[in-house]
Amino acid sequence: MIAPLLRLWLLLALLAVVVLGAEDFYKLLGLSKNASEREIKKAYRTLSKKFHPDKNPGDETAEQKFVAIAEAYEVLSNKETRDIYDRYGHDGIAQHKQGGGRPAQHHDPFDLFSRFFGGSGHFGHHGGERHGPNMEVRVAVPLRDFYNGRKTEFSVEKQAVCSACEGTGSEDGHVDTCNVCGGRGMRVKRHQLAPGLFQQVQSMCDACGGQGKTIKHKCPVCSGSRVVRETETHELFIEKGMPRGVRITYENEADESPDWVAGDLIVHLVEADPKLGEMEHEKTDGTFFRRRGKDLFWREVLSLREAWMGDWTRNLTHLDGHIVQLSRKRGDVVQPNTVEVIENEGMPIWHQQLPDDSPDMFGNLHVEYVVVLPDQMDKSMEKEFWTTWEKFRAKKGVQLDQESGRPSEPIKMPDHDEL
Protein backbone atom coordinates (compact mmCIF):
# COMPACT_ATOMS: atom_id res chain seq x y z
CA MET A 1 0.00 0.00 0.00
CA ILE A 2 1.21 3.50 -0.80
CA ALA A 3 1.95 5.28 2.48
CA PRO A 4 -0.09 8.47 3.22
CA LEU A 5 3.12 10.54 3.12
CA LEU A 6 4.01 9.16 -0.30
CA ARG A 7 0.47 9.78 -1.52
CA LEU A 8 0.76 13.42 -0.40
CA TRP A 9 4.11 13.67 -2.18
CA LEU A 10 2.53 12.39 -5.37
CA LEU A 11 -0.25 14.97 -5.16
CA LEU A 12 2.28 17.76 -4.66
CA ALA A 13 4.25 16.43 -7.60
CA LEU A 14 1.08 16.61 -9.67
CA LEU A 15 0.83 20.34 -8.97
CA ALA A 16 4.51 20.81 -9.72
CA VAL A 17 4.20 19.18 -13.15
CA VAL A 18 2.68 22.29 -14.72
CA VAL A 19 4.82 24.81 -12.84
CA LEU A 20 8.13 23.19 -13.76
CA GLY A 21 7.27 22.76 -17.41
CA ALA A 22 6.48 19.08 -17.94
CA GLU A 23 7.02 16.99 -21.01
CA ASP A 24 4.64 17.58 -23.90
CA PHE A 25 1.38 15.82 -23.01
CA TYR A 26 0.92 14.27 -26.44
CA LYS A 27 4.49 12.97 -26.45
CA LEU A 28 4.05 11.69 -22.90
CA LEU A 29 1.05 9.59 -23.97
CA GLY A 30 2.67 8.58 -27.26
CA LEU A 31 0.01 10.34 -29.35
CA SER A 32 -0.20 12.78 -32.22
CA LYS A 33 -1.94 16.15 -31.77
CA ASN A 34 -4.96 14.98 -33.75
CA ALA A 35 -5.51 11.94 -31.53
CA SER A 36 -9.13 11.00 -30.95
CA GLU A 37 -10.79 10.93 -27.55
CA ARG A 38 -10.77 7.16 -27.62
CA GLU A 39 -7.06 7.02 -28.44
CA ILE A 40 -6.31 9.32 -25.50
CA LYS A 41 -8.23 7.06 -23.13
CA LYS A 42 -6.58 3.94 -24.49
CA ALA A 43 -3.12 5.47 -24.07
CA TYR A 44 -3.91 6.41 -20.47
CA ARG A 45 -5.16 2.88 -19.70
CA THR A 46 -1.95 1.31 -21.00
CA LEU A 47 0.58 3.72 -19.50
CA SER A 48 -1.07 4.16 -16.11
CA LYS A 49 -0.84 0.41 -15.52
CA LYS A 50 2.75 0.29 -16.70
CA PHE A 51 4.00 3.09 -14.39
CA HIS A 52 1.70 2.56 -11.39
CA PRO A 53 3.70 2.83 -8.12
CA ASP A 54 2.41 -0.59 -6.97
CA LYS A 55 4.13 -2.17 -9.97
CA ASN A 56 7.30 -0.11 -9.57
CA PRO A 57 8.02 -0.03 -5.82
CA GLY A 58 10.79 2.36 -4.88
CA ASP A 59 11.09 3.77 -8.41
CA GLU A 60 10.63 7.54 -8.08
CA THR A 61 10.89 8.04 -11.85
CA ALA A 62 7.95 5.71 -12.41
CA GLU A 63 5.95 7.46 -9.68
CA GLN A 64 6.53 10.85 -11.28
CA LYS A 65 5.60 9.39 -14.66
CA PHE A 66 2.36 8.00 -13.20
CA VAL A 67 1.44 11.44 -11.90
CA ALA A 68 2.36 13.14 -15.19
CA ILE A 69 0.31 10.63 -17.20
CA ALA A 70 -2.73 11.36 -15.02
CA GLU A 71 -2.23 15.11 -15.51
CA ALA A 72 -1.86 14.68 -19.28
CA TYR A 73 -5.04 12.64 -19.48
CA GLU A 74 -7.04 15.09 -17.37
CA VAL A 75 -6.06 17.98 -19.62
CA LEU A 76 -6.43 16.23 -22.98
CA SER A 77 -9.66 14.37 -22.15
CA ASN A 78 -11.48 17.67 -21.46
CA LYS A 79 -12.35 19.65 -24.61
CA GLU A 80 -11.95 23.06 -22.96
CA THR A 81 -8.55 22.38 -21.36
CA ARG A 82 -7.32 20.57 -24.45
CA ASP A 83 -8.08 23.62 -26.59
CA ILE A 84 -6.21 25.82 -24.13
CA TYR A 85 -3.25 23.45 -24.08
CA ASP A 86 -3.13 23.22 -27.88
CA ARG A 87 -2.97 27.05 -28.08
CA TYR A 88 -0.86 28.05 -25.11
CA GLY A 89 0.78 24.88 -23.76
CA HIS A 90 1.55 24.33 -20.07
CA ASP A 91 1.56 28.06 -19.27
CA GLY A 92 -1.98 28.35 -20.57
CA ILE A 93 -3.17 25.50 -18.34
CA ALA A 94 -1.47 27.06 -15.29
CA GLN A 95 -3.11 30.47 -15.96
CA HIS A 96 -6.46 28.80 -16.58
CA LYS A 97 -6.37 27.20 -13.11
CA GLN A 98 -5.08 30.33 -11.36
CA GLY A 99 -7.70 32.45 -13.07
CA GLY A 100 -10.57 30.42 -11.68
CA GLY A 101 -11.25 28.46 -14.83
CA ARG A 102 -12.96 25.12 -14.50
CA PRO A 103 -10.29 22.69 -13.35
CA ALA A 104 -9.85 19.19 -14.65
CA GLN A 105 -12.46 16.75 -13.36
CA HIS A 106 -10.05 14.67 -11.25
CA HIS A 107 -7.35 15.77 -8.82
CA ASP A 108 -6.00 12.52 -7.37
CA PRO A 109 -4.23 10.22 -9.87
CA PHE A 110 -5.32 7.22 -7.78
CA ASP A 111 -8.98 8.27 -7.97
CA LEU A 112 -8.64 8.58 -11.72
CA PHE A 113 -7.04 5.14 -11.88
CA SER A 114 -9.83 3.57 -9.84
CA ARG A 115 -12.43 4.92 -12.27
CA PHE A 116 -10.80 3.01 -15.06
CA PHE A 117 -9.93 -0.21 -13.27
CA GLY A 118 -12.06 -0.46 -10.14
CA GLY A 119 -10.92 -0.86 -6.54
CA SER A 120 -9.19 1.83 -4.52
CA GLY A 121 -6.82 3.03 -7.22
CA HIS A 122 -4.22 0.41 -6.30
CA PHE A 123 -3.50 -2.99 -7.74
CA GLY A 124 -5.66 -4.99 -5.39
CA HIS A 125 -3.39 -6.21 -2.60
CA HIS A 126 -5.59 -4.88 0.17
CA GLY A 127 -8.23 -6.61 2.24
CA GLY A 128 -11.91 -5.81 1.81
CA GLU A 129 -11.73 -5.34 -1.96
CA ARG A 130 -13.56 -7.64 -4.32
CA HIS A 131 -11.28 -9.45 -6.74
CA GLY A 132 -12.16 -10.75 -10.17
CA PRO A 133 -11.22 -14.24 -11.39
CA ASN A 134 -7.79 -15.10 -12.73
CA MET A 135 -7.29 -15.85 -16.43
CA GLU A 136 -5.06 -18.63 -17.74
CA VAL A 137 -3.76 -18.79 -21.31
CA ARG A 138 -1.29 -20.97 -23.23
CA VAL A 139 1.38 -19.31 -25.35
CA ALA A 140 3.33 -21.56 -27.73
CA VAL A 141 6.90 -20.56 -28.63
CA PRO A 142 9.51 -22.48 -30.67
CA LEU A 143 12.26 -24.45 -28.97
CA ARG A 144 14.70 -21.86 -30.37
CA ASP A 145 13.26 -19.24 -28.01
CA PHE A 146 13.61 -21.53 -24.98
CA TYR A 147 17.27 -22.05 -25.94
CA ASN A 148 18.30 -18.48 -26.79
CA GLY A 149 15.87 -16.48 -24.68
CA ARG A 150 13.79 -13.81 -26.32
CA LYS A 151 11.75 -10.66 -25.73
CA THR A 152 8.51 -10.86 -27.70
CA GLU A 153 4.81 -10.05 -27.42
CA PHE A 154 1.54 -11.92 -27.22
CA SER A 155 -2.07 -10.79 -27.42
CA VAL A 156 -5.08 -11.92 -25.43
CA GLU A 157 -8.74 -10.99 -25.71
CA LYS A 158 -10.24 -9.92 -22.40
CA GLN A 159 -13.03 -7.94 -20.83
CA ALA A 160 -12.02 -4.32 -20.28
CA VAL A 161 -13.71 -1.33 -18.68
CA CYS A 162 -15.22 0.75 -21.47
CA SER A 163 -12.89 3.65 -22.25
CA ALA A 164 -15.62 5.69 -23.89
CA CYS A 165 -17.70 6.05 -20.72
CA GLU A 166 -14.98 5.24 -18.14
CA GLY A 167 -17.05 2.33 -16.86
CA THR A 168 -20.21 4.31 -16.07
CA GLY A 169 -22.25 2.87 -18.94
CA SER A 170 -23.62 6.37 -19.57
CA GLU A 171 -22.94 8.47 -22.64
CA ASP A 172 -23.17 11.73 -20.65
CA GLY A 173 -21.75 10.35 -17.39
CA HIS A 174 -25.07 10.63 -15.50
CA VAL A 175 -26.18 7.54 -13.58
CA ASP A 176 -29.36 7.51 -11.47
CA THR A 177 -30.24 5.38 -8.47
CA CYS A 178 -32.93 2.84 -9.31
CA ASN A 179 -36.23 4.11 -7.89
CA VAL A 180 -37.66 0.59 -7.70
CA CYS A 181 -35.08 -1.08 -5.46
CA GLY A 182 -33.57 2.09 -3.98
CA GLY A 183 -30.11 1.21 -5.25
CA ARG A 184 -29.93 -2.16 -3.53
CA GLY A 185 -30.26 -4.21 -6.71
CA MET A 186 -32.66 -6.57 -4.95
CA ARG A 187 -36.42 -6.47 -4.36
CA VAL A 188 -38.41 -8.10 -1.59
CA LYS A 189 -41.82 -9.38 -2.64
CA ARG A 190 -44.52 -10.51 -0.23
CA HIS A 191 -46.73 -13.46 -1.13
CA GLN A 192 -49.84 -14.54 0.76
CA LEU A 193 -49.82 -18.28 1.32
CA ALA A 194 -52.98 -18.41 3.42
CA PRO A 195 -55.14 -15.99 5.39
CA GLY A 196 -52.76 -14.31 7.82
CA LEU A 197 -49.76 -16.26 6.48
CA PHE A 198 -47.27 -14.47 4.25
CA GLN A 199 -43.89 -15.29 2.71
CA GLN A 200 -41.20 -12.79 1.74
CA VAL A 201 -39.06 -13.62 -1.30
CA GLN A 202 -35.95 -11.67 -2.26
CA SER A 203 -35.11 -11.50 -5.95
CA MET A 204 -32.98 -9.45 -8.32
CA CYS A 205 -34.53 -6.14 -9.31
CA ASP A 206 -35.73 -6.51 -12.88
CA ALA A 207 -35.89 -2.73 -13.37
CA CYS A 208 -32.10 -2.24 -13.10
CA GLY A 209 -30.90 -5.80 -13.66
CA GLY A 210 -29.51 -5.98 -10.13
CA GLN A 211 -27.18 -3.01 -10.65
CA GLY A 212 -29.04 -0.64 -8.37
CA LYS A 213 -28.60 2.09 -10.97
CA THR A 214 -30.35 3.17 -14.14
CA ILE A 215 -29.02 5.00 -17.19
CA LYS A 216 -31.10 7.22 -19.43
CA HIS A 217 -28.52 7.69 -22.19
CA LYS A 218 -26.56 4.50 -22.64
CA CYS A 219 -22.99 4.58 -23.91
CA PRO A 220 -23.05 3.78 -27.65
CA VAL A 221 -19.81 1.78 -27.37
CA CYS A 222 -20.68 -0.66 -24.57
CA SER A 223 -24.51 -0.27 -24.78
CA GLY A 224 -24.61 0.50 -21.08
CA SER A 225 -22.86 -2.71 -20.00
CA ARG A 226 -19.81 -0.68 -18.83
CA VAL A 227 -17.39 -3.25 -20.26
CA VAL A 228 -16.22 -4.26 -23.74
CA ARG A 229 -14.16 -7.06 -25.29
CA GLU A 230 -10.71 -5.86 -26.27
CA THR A 231 -7.46 -7.39 -27.49
CA GLU A 232 -4.56 -6.44 -25.25
CA THR A 233 -0.88 -6.96 -26.06
CA HIS A 234 1.70 -7.81 -23.40
CA GLU A 235 5.47 -8.09 -23.46
CA LEU A 236 6.81 -11.60 -22.88
CA PHE A 237 10.35 -12.23 -21.59
CA ILE A 238 11.47 -15.80 -22.26
CA GLU A 239 14.58 -16.62 -20.24
CA LYS A 240 17.21 -19.06 -21.47
CA GLY A 241 16.44 -22.61 -20.41
CA MET A 242 12.95 -21.94 -19.08
CA PRO A 243 11.16 -25.29 -18.68
CA ARG A 244 8.12 -26.09 -20.78
CA GLY A 245 4.90 -25.33 -18.96
CA VAL A 246 6.45 -22.61 -16.78
CA ARG A 247 3.85 -20.18 -15.42
CA ILE A 248 4.38 -16.43 -15.81
CA THR A 249 2.02 -14.20 -13.83
CA TYR A 250 0.89 -10.73 -14.92
CA GLU A 251 -0.69 -9.16 -11.85
CA ASN A 252 -4.12 -7.58 -12.27
CA GLU A 253 -4.21 -8.12 -16.05
CA ALA A 254 -7.24 -10.46 -16.17
CA ASP A 255 -10.82 -9.44 -17.00
CA GLU A 256 -11.68 -5.95 -15.74
CA SER A 257 -14.88 -4.56 -14.30
CA PRO A 258 -15.88 -1.38 -12.46
CA ASP A 259 -17.16 -3.69 -9.70
CA TRP A 260 -13.93 -5.46 -8.86
CA VAL A 261 -10.14 -5.35 -8.92
CA ALA A 262 -8.87 -7.36 -11.87
CA GLY A 263 -7.41 -10.79 -11.16
CA ASP A 264 -4.11 -12.08 -12.52
CA LEU A 265 -3.32 -13.21 -16.04
CA ILE A 266 -1.36 -16.48 -15.87
CA VAL A 267 0.58 -17.52 -18.97
CA HIS A 268 1.63 -21.14 -19.50
CA LEU A 269 4.64 -21.32 -21.86
CA VAL A 270 4.47 -24.39 -24.09
CA GLU A 271 6.67 -25.59 -26.94
CA ALA A 272 5.32 -25.07 -30.45
CA ASP A 273 5.47 -27.86 -33.03
CA PRO A 274 8.76 -27.69 -34.94
CA LYS A 275 8.65 -26.21 -38.43
CA LEU A 276 11.03 -24.44 -40.79
CA GLY A 277 10.47 -20.70 -40.82
CA GLU A 278 11.00 -18.24 -43.62
CA MET A 279 13.98 -16.41 -42.12
CA GLU A 280 17.46 -17.89 -42.49
CA HIS A 281 17.97 -18.23 -38.73
CA GLU A 282 14.69 -20.18 -38.51
CA LYS A 283 15.98 -22.95 -40.79
CA THR A 284 18.62 -24.48 -38.53
CA ASP A 285 18.92 -28.23 -38.00
CA GLY A 286 18.24 -27.54 -34.34
CA THR A 287 14.66 -26.63 -35.22
CA PHE A 288 13.97 -30.35 -35.12
CA PHE A 289 15.78 -31.16 -31.89
CA ARG A 290 13.68 -32.88 -29.26
CA ARG A 291 13.92 -31.70 -25.69
CA ARG A 292 13.77 -33.73 -22.50
CA GLY A 293 14.57 -31.66 -19.45
CA LYS A 294 18.04 -30.17 -19.86
CA ASP A 295 19.06 -32.55 -22.69
CA LEU A 296 18.47 -32.37 -26.43
CA PHE A 297 18.03 -35.28 -28.84
CA TRP A 298 18.82 -35.52 -32.56
CA ARG A 299 18.55 -38.36 -35.10
CA GLU A 300 21.31 -38.44 -37.74
CA VAL A 301 20.90 -40.57 -40.88
CA LEU A 302 23.94 -42.41 -42.34
CA SER A 303 24.31 -44.30 -45.57
CA LEU A 304 25.52 -47.90 -45.54
CA ARG A 305 28.96 -46.81 -46.79
CA GLU A 306 29.30 -44.16 -44.06
CA ALA A 307 28.20 -46.50 -41.30
CA TRP A 308 30.41 -49.33 -42.55
CA MET A 309 33.52 -47.53 -43.81
CA GLY A 310 33.61 -44.29 -41.85
CA ASP A 311 35.50 -41.33 -43.38
CA TRP A 312 32.69 -38.76 -43.12
CA THR A 313 31.98 -35.37 -41.51
CA ARG A 314 28.67 -33.62 -40.86
CA ASN A 315 28.09 -30.06 -39.67
CA LEU A 316 25.02 -29.84 -37.44
CA THR A 317 23.70 -26.27 -37.07
CA HIS A 318 22.56 -25.67 -33.50
CA LEU A 319 19.62 -23.52 -32.31
CA ASP A 320 21.79 -20.42 -31.91
CA GLY A 321 23.62 -20.94 -35.23
CA HIS A 322 26.89 -22.43 -33.95
CA ILE A 323 28.18 -25.65 -35.55
CA VAL A 324 28.41 -29.05 -33.87
CA GLN A 325 30.63 -31.33 -35.95
CA LEU A 326 29.87 -35.04 -36.20
CA SER A 327 32.49 -37.31 -37.83
CA ARG A 328 34.13 -40.72 -38.06
CA LYS A 329 37.59 -41.69 -39.28
CA ARG A 330 38.04 -44.20 -42.06
CA GLY A 331 37.44 -47.68 -40.75
CA ASP A 332 35.32 -46.54 -37.77
CA VAL A 333 32.07 -48.51 -37.94
CA VAL A 334 28.82 -47.02 -36.62
CA GLN A 335 26.30 -49.62 -35.56
CA PRO A 336 22.60 -48.83 -36.23
CA ASN A 337 20.87 -47.05 -33.31
CA THR A 338 24.18 -46.12 -31.71
CA VAL A 339 23.76 -43.05 -29.45
CA GLU A 340 26.61 -40.58 -29.14
CA VAL A 341 26.48 -38.19 -26.16
CA ILE A 342 28.04 -34.75 -26.73
CA GLU A 343 28.53 -32.88 -23.47
CA ASN A 344 27.46 -29.24 -22.98
CA GLU A 345 25.55 -29.09 -26.28
CA GLY A 346 22.10 -29.53 -24.75
CA MET A 347 19.71 -26.92 -23.31
CA PRO A 348 21.02 -24.08 -21.15
CA ILE A 349 20.04 -24.70 -17.56
CA TRP A 350 17.59 -22.07 -16.28
CA HIS A 351 19.26 -19.64 -13.87
CA GLN A 352 16.61 -20.35 -11.23
CA GLN A 353 17.77 -23.98 -11.16
CA LEU A 354 21.42 -23.02 -10.62
CA PRO A 355 23.23 -21.85 -7.47
CA ASP A 356 23.70 -18.09 -7.12
CA ASP A 357 26.58 -16.63 -9.17
CA SER A 358 26.98 -19.90 -11.02
CA PRO A 359 28.33 -19.69 -14.62
CA ASP A 360 26.14 -20.76 -17.52
CA MET A 361 25.69 -24.51 -17.67
CA PHE A 362 24.26 -26.77 -20.38
CA GLY A 363 22.86 -30.26 -20.66
CA ASN A 364 23.98 -32.84 -23.22
CA LEU A 365 23.12 -33.53 -26.85
CA HIS A 366 22.20 -37.16 -27.63
CA VAL A 367 22.76 -38.11 -31.28
CA GLU A 368 21.15 -41.35 -32.45
CA TYR A 369 22.53 -42.81 -35.69
CA VAL A 370 20.12 -44.44 -38.12
CA VAL A 371 21.59 -46.48 -41.01
CA VAL A 372 19.70 -46.48 -44.30
CA LEU A 373 20.22 -49.46 -46.64
CA PRO A 374 19.89 -49.06 -50.42
CA ASP A 375 16.60 -50.23 -51.95
CA GLN A 376 18.37 -51.84 -54.93
CA MET A 377 21.87 -52.25 -56.40
CA ASP A 378 23.28 -51.97 -59.88
CA LYS A 379 23.95 -55.42 -61.40
CA SER A 380 27.69 -54.91 -61.75
CA MET A 381 27.96 -53.40 -58.25
CA GLU A 382 26.05 -56.34 -56.78
CA LYS A 383 28.44 -58.78 -58.50
CA GLU A 384 31.55 -56.98 -57.22
CA PHE A 385 30.19 -56.77 -53.66
CA TRP A 386 29.21 -60.45 -53.71
CA THR A 387 32.65 -61.53 -54.89
CA THR A 388 34.36 -59.39 -52.23
CA TRP A 389 32.12 -60.67 -49.43
CA GLU A 390 32.52 -64.30 -50.50
CA LYS A 391 36.32 -64.01 -50.34
CA PHE A 392 36.13 -62.38 -46.90
CA ARG A 393 33.59 -64.96 -45.66
CA ALA A 394 35.74 -67.82 -46.83
CA LYS A 395 38.62 -66.57 -44.66
CA LYS A 396 36.97 -65.11 -41.54
CA GLY A 397 33.24 -65.52 -41.97
CA VAL A 398 31.05 -67.29 -39.42
CA GLN A 399 27.54 -68.72 -39.52
CA LEU A 400 25.56 -66.62 -37.08
CA ASP A 401 22.96 -69.31 -36.51
CA GLN A 402 25.65 -71.81 -35.57
CA GLU A 403 27.48 -69.28 -33.38
CA SER A 404 24.27 -68.57 -31.50
CA GLY A 405 23.62 -72.30 -30.98
CA ARG A 406 20.46 -72.62 -32.99
CA PRO A 407 19.52 -76.24 -33.88
CA SER A 408 19.63 -77.42 -37.48
CA GLU A 409 16.86 -80.02 -37.00
CA PRO A 410 13.42 -79.89 -35.38
CA ILE A 411 13.40 -80.63 -31.65
CA LYS A 412 11.06 -83.34 -30.41
CA MET A 413 9.04 -82.09 -27.48
CA PRO A 414 8.22 -84.44 -24.55
CA ASP A 415 4.80 -86.06 -24.49
CA HIS A 416 2.25 -84.40 -22.25
CA ASP A 417 -1.49 -84.40 -21.70
CA GLU A 418 -3.24 -81.67 -23.64
CA LEU A 419 -5.62 -79.47 -21.73
Encode pLDDT of 60-72 as tens digits. Answer: 888 888 888 988 9
Per-residue pLDDT, 99: 67
Residue 39 banded pLDDT, cuts 50, 70, 90 = confident
What value does the mean pLDDT take over residues 138-166? 92
Query: How open is the CA angle 44-49-54, to the nearest 5 degrees?
Result: 140
- Measured CA distances, 144 to 8, 151, 239, 241, 344 (Å): 48, 12, 11, 10, 16
Per-residue pLDDT, 297: 97
> Are 212 and 186 spatial neighbours (Cβ–Cβ below 8 Å)?
no
For 58-62, 117-121, 367-371, which range has the lowest pLDDT when averaged over its residues?
117-121
> Are 21 and 90 spatial neighbours (Cβ–Cβ below 8 Å)?
yes
Sign for the pseudo-dihedral over CA of 193, 194, 200, 206: positive
Mean pLDDT, rounded, of the chain:
84
Evaluate if residue 129 carries a pLDDT over 80.
no
Per-residue pLDDT, 272: 93
Contacts of 294 (CB under 8 A, 6+ apart): 241, 346, 347, 349, 362, 363, 364
Per-residue pLDDT, 312: 96
Per-residue pLDDT, 164: 80
- Measured CA distances, 335 to 298, 325, 403 (Å): 16, 19, 20
Gap between the Cα atoms of 116 and 257, Å rounded: 9
The more confidently predicted of residues 337 and 188 is 337
Evaluate if residue 59 carries a pLDDT over 50.
yes
4-117 to CATH, choices 1.10.287.110, 3.40.50.2030, 3.30.360.10, 3.40.50.300: 1.10.287.110
Evaluate if residue 363 carries a pLDDT over 70.
yes
Q: Which CATH class is domain 280-372?
A: mainly beta
What are the domain boundaries of the chain?
Answer: 4-117, 130-168+224-273, 176-214, 280-372
Per-residue pLDDT, 106: 47
Per-residue pLDDT, 1: 44
Evaluate if residue 406 carries a pLDDT over 80.
yes
For 52-66, 93-107, 200-214, 357-371, which range has the lowest pLDDT when averaged over its residues?
93-107
Q: Which CATH class is domain 130-168+224-273?
A: mainly beta
280-372 and 130-168+224-273 share a CATH fold: yes
